[in-house]
Amino acid sequence: MEPIKLPDGRAVLAAFATPASGPGWSNALVTVIVIEPDGRLAREHIQPDEQTTAMLTLYAVSAAVSGQMASEAARVIVGREGE
């Protein structure tokens, strides 16, 4: 597996499992949030055949935790509407 090279000044901010599926297909992406030198955020994806053994091992836990965290964040953010 060839490593993905980030240009100078970019850094990985977060990475999490992002399961996706539809009729007759599924994918187990790892979404990577990258911070640009100017502070903007970018999104990259790592396909299952590019993932490390550790990523594959952690995938189910990451999907469960990030899914629950997103649900909780949505509850808080919905409460902020109109502020």
Q: What is the pLDDT of residue 83?
A: 54
pTM higher than 0.75: yes
Structural contact between residues 21 and 27, judged by C-beta atoms closer than 8 angstroms: yes
H/E stretch holding 11:
strand 11-22
Which pLDDT score is estimated for 7? 79
79 band by pLDDT with thresholds 50, 70 and 90: low
Q: Output the average pLDDT for the chain.
A: 90
What is the C-alpha to C-alpha distance for residues 55 and 41, in angstroms, rounded to an integer?
A: 22
> What count of other Cβ atoms lies within 10 Å of the Cβ of residue 50?
14
d(CA 26, CA 20): 6
CA 7 to CA 78: how far, in whole Å? 36
29-57 mean pLDDT: 94
Q: What is the per-residue pLDDT for 1?
A: 61
